[in-house]
Structures are given as C-alpha cells and as structure tokens.
Amino acid sequence: MKIEKRVLPNLGVLDVTLEREHTDHLYHLIEKYEIDADQGMQQWMLVDDEHRFKQTVLDPAINYYVKEWGFPTRLQSTHIHDLTFQKFWVNSTTKGQYQALHNHDAVFSFVVWLKIPSVATEEQQVHNTMHPEAGDFILTYSDITGRHCKANWKLEKQYNEGHMLLFPSALFHAVYPHFLTDEKRISLAGDIALNSNKIEGIYDQGMLLGTENSQEFLSKEA
C-alpha cells in the first residue's frame, strides 16, 4: 500500500522582521503626525513620507507573498502594479483596551508592533480565568472543511517588537487587552488596496488562511 500526502492550495501569513532603520523611520512618522488626544486609546493617520516604508518594506513583502500564494482575491486583473498603499495609522492602547474582531476592505493588511509593554504568557497566568487570551493578537479563518479556526500570537517584547504581519484583508483579527502595566502598547496598521481604476473583479471573501505552510508559522511561539 502506498500513501501520499496531497496539500490543497491555500493562503498564508508573512512575518517580517524589520531593520532598525525601518522602525526608526516609523517612530519618526509617529512623532511627526501625532495628534493631541485624551488619555486612553488613541489613533491617528500617518503619511508615508517619500514612500519610504512602501518601497523598502511593503513592496518586497507583497512580492514575496504573491510568489508564494498568489493574490488573496479573485480578480480579472492580478498584477502587483494594480495595488496601492491605501492608508496606515497608529494604534496606541493602554491597560484594558483592545481591538474588537474585524476585517478590512482591501487586498492586504498589515500590523507592525513597535512597543509591547507586557508578556502575554505572564498576562494569561494572572488572568487565566477571566482573560485566558490577554495580550494576544488573533486571526480567525476557516479551514478546508469550513471549520472555524483561530490562530494566536502571544505578543512578547523579545520576539514581536519590530515585526510586521502581512495577511489577506478578508481575515478577521483582534487584539486582546493587557492588564499588568500602565505602559502603552503601540502598533501600526494599514491596508494595501486595488487601485480604483483597476478594479475589474470582486473580492473573494471566502479565501482562507493556509493549512500546512501557515500552521508551521503559526505554531511558532511568539
């Protein structure tokens, strides 16, 4: 008897480690465009001066993604030049604040963690009953059988600061709150969308996170 494995094609997630020059540039943008706001959760839009972040980080990452998995949409036109860096913004959250489950109306989305004030595993040891996923970033998806699944990143300063996740915008995602410190968690998020004059198809909201390749990545402890 011969048994062979057949892997169905699917999509994945990229974990990109940024260089110091990239994070320095992002901190510069945060300070340049920071707005005055009350204490608590703060969000403000950024402008990618001279397209530096797009050219040095996003373009290479998207090219890599497309070569590995193709476009996460069904389009009549799927050339990478049909994409545009739509927008990106800062999320600054304090103790107890979170981002509820949501997705984005784009092709690719990304999150960059610049400051992680607590350790998710320590958060969960303290709050295991009430908040078993405290401090986590999650993506939800359906596997090839239609089963609803969830992938957790246990955010820790040592492993996740200076990292970017790039993923299909149709994937729902959320950020759970931290509780053990009053320090702020600072991240950037953004979207890469279809150029408005290139939209010739529709988004396939049913495209799924990959099973084999992504699970190998997702199983890595953050």
135: left (phi over 0), alpha (psi -120 to 50) or beta: left
Backbone angles phi, psi at 50, to 5 degrees: 60, 20
**Span 88-112, mean pLDDT?**
90
pLDDT at 30: 92
Q: How far apart are CA 15 and CA 29, in angstroms?
A: 22
Helices and strands counted in the chain (H then E)? 6, 10
Q: How far apart are CA 124 and CA 130, in angstroms?
A: 9
Q: Is 90 exceeded by the pLDDT of residue 202?
A: no
pLDDT at 42: 84
What single letter denotes the amino acid at residue 20? Answer: R
Q: CATH number of the domain at 14-31+46-218, out of 2.20.28, 2.60.120, 3.20.20, 1.25.40?
A: 2.60.120
pLDDT per residue as tens digits for the range 4-54: 556 666 678 999 999 999 999 999 999 998 876 555 568 899 999 889 999
Q: Terminal CA-to-CA distance of the chain, rounded, Å?
A: 40
pLDDT at 154: 83
Domain ranges in the chain are 14-31+46-218
Backbone angles phi, psi at 178, to 5 degrees: -105, 155
pLDDT at 176: 86
pLDDT at 18: 95
pLDDT band at 102; cut points 50, 70, 90: very high
